[in-house]
Amino acid sequence: MRVTTVLVEGESDMLAVEALALRCDHDLASERVQIVPMGGATSIVHYLERYGPKGADHRLLGLCDAAESRGIAKALLRAGMGSGPLEERGFEVCDSDLEDELIRCLGIDSVLEVIEAQRELASFKLLQRQPSLRDRSVEAQLRRFFAGRSGNKIRYAPLLVSALPAGKAPPPLTHLVASFGM
């Protein structure tokens, strides 16, 4: 049976992928899918050495942010995984980042409901009043909220995925999870 390794940039990405896989009735253990957070995309070379191409019984997939896609593509090429679009090589690319994808997919009101359910809406409103963020879009403010406090990305990634309506997840995440069963 084939083993699938999924490289993701960080722990929040891993938790989001796991949450969507669970919602889509994937049993990662029985399907032999392991999701590996790299601690940042710049670590890809080390992870490709460890998890890179090993033959027909092993498949490598991944998820990365748009800003990191060029470096990922170069590393995959150097590791002998071909050239061309990352998606054709099993790596899905998020516009901006996964949090941005989730915010767009859910919509601002739903994201605010998730924050309110965590009793942090007052904290978010305080952040919105900061001079450096006042004139920025609510989407940008939300991204700052998730990235600005230690642990927020990790805490909110599965919560945002859980808040998604059935069948409505960001395309990169949807495509990645759908490929587990292939």
What's the rounded Cα separation, in Å, for the pair 64 and 8? 6
The burial of 16, by beta-carbon neighbours within 10 Å (0-12 exposed, 13-18 middle, 19 or more buried), is given as buried
Contacting residues for 111 by C-beta, under 8 A, at least 6 apart: 102, 103, 142, 160, 163
pLDDT by residue (tens digit) across 87-138?
Answer: 999 999 999 899 999 999 999 999 999 999 999 999 999 999 999 999 999 9
User: Are 133 and 173 found together in one domain?
Assistant: no
User: Are 69 and 111 found together in one domain?
Assistant: no
CATH number for the domain that contains residue 37: 3.40.50
Rg over alpha carbons for the chain, rounded to the nearest Å, is 17
Classify 3 in phi/psi space as left (phi over 0), alpha (psi -120 to 50) or beta: beta
Print the domain residue range for 122.
99-163
Using pLDDT thresholds of 50, 70 and 90, give the confidence band for residue 51: confident
User: Are 38 and 74 found together in one domain?
Assistant: yes
Task: Take residue 18 and report the two structure tokens written for it.
Answer: 């796991």
Cβ 157 vs Cβ 16: under 8 Å: yes
Tally of domains within the chain? 2
User: Are 108 and 86 found together in one domain?
Assistant: no
pTM over 0.75: yes
Task: Take residue 113 and report the two structure tokens written for it.
Answer: 């409901």
Averaged pLDDT score across all residues of the chain: 93
User: Are 19 and 34 found together in one domain?
Assistant: yes
User: Are 32 and 48 found together in one domain?
Assistant: yes
User: Are 51 and 130 found together in one domain?
Assistant: no
User: Are 120 and 142 found together in one domain?
Assistant: yes
What's the rounded Cα separation, in Å, for the pair 49 and 31? 23
User: Are 17 and 88 found together in one domain?
Assistant: yes
User: Are 46 and 113 found together in one domain?
Assistant: no
Give the residue-averaged pLDDT of 55-75.
91
User: Are 90 and 176 found together in one domain?
Assistant: yes
Residue written as token pair 């409103």: 125
User: Are 90 and 173 found together in one domain?
Assistant: yes
- pLDDT at position 181 is 73
